[in-house]
Amino acid sequence: MKFVVAVKQVPDTAEVRIDPERGTLIRDGVPSIMNPFDTYALEEAMKWRDELGGVVTVITMGPPQAESVLKEAISMGADDAILISDRAFAGADTWATSHTLAAAVAELGDVDAVFFGKQAIDGDTAQTGPSVAASLDWPQITFVGKVRELNKDSIIAERYVETGMQVVQTELPVVLTILKDANVPRVPSLRGKMKSRKVQIPVWKLSDLGLTEAETGLNGSPTKVVVTATPEARTGGQIHEGSTEELVSRLADLLLGEGGEA
């Protein structure tokens, strides 16, 4: 089987802080990590590769330093990786990103499935997977909590929705977006880390994908960010410090409506 996992390098949003005086993002010292949701996509692809045989190729679109997430994927057990990087790809929205990723999947050829994480923690759009499926005209199964069966021709997966769970069957090739319920991602291995140190990761540029500047990056993006702002801060009210009895009494007043019974 030939599986592709699309990953993204993101700032660790849990580490992002706001400068309280200027109200701007503090990016200094915020580590870049593999999008946490993508680790479940990678594990799912590797799990099925281990079962069925084949290769897992990890791709990412990003600046040259995004190579580090590809190396991390290799240290976890991916077979190879491709960095899709070109100045022309900068500033892409989800349309242009998926357009570019779909071109890379087509270029790889004979791919059986592309695995995405549910969403990326920086943009939180969850749009790239379905848009890649549309570009390739493949079926898609999103929000996959469990892949029940997978073989050369078809897949059965559990799709977790608001009201329950859909069991969906479809044909391959397919695009999947994976939830963290699906698996527990493996820890990198020592041999994987040794391999990732030495591996030369190929870089695919605009011309390698047969695309034009008009359909990639900022030029190819139908949407544009026009304003960014920090969310309105709600200012804190009174803070009580005191004995447990005092705190409990006040809290009970509030929860039951002032002065006792609501």
Q: What residues numbered 111-150 form the site for another protein, per CB under 8 A?
A: 119, 121-131, 133-135, 139-143
What is the three-class DSSP state of 27? coil
Does 151 participate in binding another protein (rule CB under 8 A)? Answer: no
Contact between 240 and another protein per CB under 8 A: yes
Is there binding between residue 55 and another protein (CB under 8 A)? no
Are 168 and 140 spatial neighbours (Cβ–Cβ below 8 Å)? no
235 interacts with another protein by CB under 8 A: yes
CA distance 110 to 223: 31
Tokens of 262: 């609501």
User: Which residues have C-beta within 8 Å of that of residue 26, sequence separation ≥ 6?
Assistant: 16, 17, 18, 19
The values of phi and psi at residue 229, to 5°, are -150, 160
Interface with another protein by CB under 8 A: which range of 6-14, 53-61, 104-112, 205-213?
6-14
Q: Which is nearer to another protein, 53 or 64 (CB)?
A: 64
Shortest separation between residue 52's beta carbon and another protein, angstroms: 18
197 binds another protein (CB under 8 A): yes
Task: Please pick, from the candidates 64, 190, 210, 214, the single residue that binds another protein as defined by CB under 8 A.
Answer: 190
Q: Is residue 11 within the footprint of another protein (CB under 8 A)?
A: yes
**Selected binder of another protein within 29, 200, 210, 223 (CB under 8 A):** 223
Residue 194 structure tokens: 């040794």
Residue 164 near another protein by CB under 8 A: yes
Selected range binding another protein among 51-59, 103-111, 157-165, 200-208, rule: CB under 8 A: 157-165
Asked if 229 interacts with another protein (CB under 8 A), we say: yes
> Quick one: 17 or 207, whose CB is closer to another protein?
17
Q: Quick one: which segment of 54-62, 108-116, 184-192, 206-214 binds another protein (CB under 8 A)?
A: 184-192
Q: Does 251 bind another protein (CB under 8 A)?
A: yes
Establish if 25 lies at the interface with another protein (CB under 8 A). Answer: yes
Classify the C-alpha dihedral 183-3-35-189 as positive or negative: positive
Q: Which long-range contacts (CB under 8 A, 24 or more apart) does 144-152 make?
A: 144/44, 144/176, 144/177, 144/178, 144/179, 144/182, 145/179, 145/181, 145/182, 146/181, 146/182, 147/44, 147/48, 147/176, 147/182, 150/48, 150/52, 150/113, 151/52, 152/1, 152/112
